[in-house]
Amino acid sequence: DTAVSQTPKYLVTQMGNDKSIKCEQNLGHDTMYWYKQDSKKFLKIMFSYNNKELIINETVPNRFSPKSPDKAHLNLHINSLELGDSAVYFCASSNRAYEQYFGPGTRLTVT
């Protein structure tokens, strides 16, 4: 059984396009996160939702918009993609800031 799943696993797109990444967790956790991991493996938090409410919104361009339709889902929509958006995006979930469960990642390549 997959705990945290993300789709798609790979995403190759051109500059200027709009794309979405979906995340689902079946762990019953209250909190979900989006992280961006760059080419040097530095992991940076982008957003966090608790029970569908946005609680962390880091300094992220407003081209990035998270949406949480329910507690088990947190999607990430990116408008007007730029080259610098190329990275691996991870979804995670937890109960509070205890151990986090990560999805397999979505490798986004913007050409």
Binding site for other proteins (CB under 8 A): 4, 31, 33, 35, 40-45, 48, 50, 55-56, 90, 92, 96-105
Is the Cβ of residue 17 or residue 58 nearer to other proteins in the bound state?
58
Residue 109 Cβ vs other proteins, minimum distance, rounded to whole Å: 14
Is the Cβ of residue 14 or residue 97 nearer to other proteins in the bound state?
97
Distance CA 33, CA 46 (A): 7
Residue 28 Cβ vs other proteins, minimum distance, rounded to whole Å: 17
Please give the full DSSP string across 53-98, using - where no structure is assigned. EEEEE-S--TTEEEEEEETTEEEEEE-S--GGG-EEEEEEEESTTS
Is the Cβ of residue 1 or residue 99 nearer to other proteins in the bound state?
99
Which residue's structure tokens are 């889902």?
A: 73
Q: Which two tokens stand for residue 84?
A: 């610098």
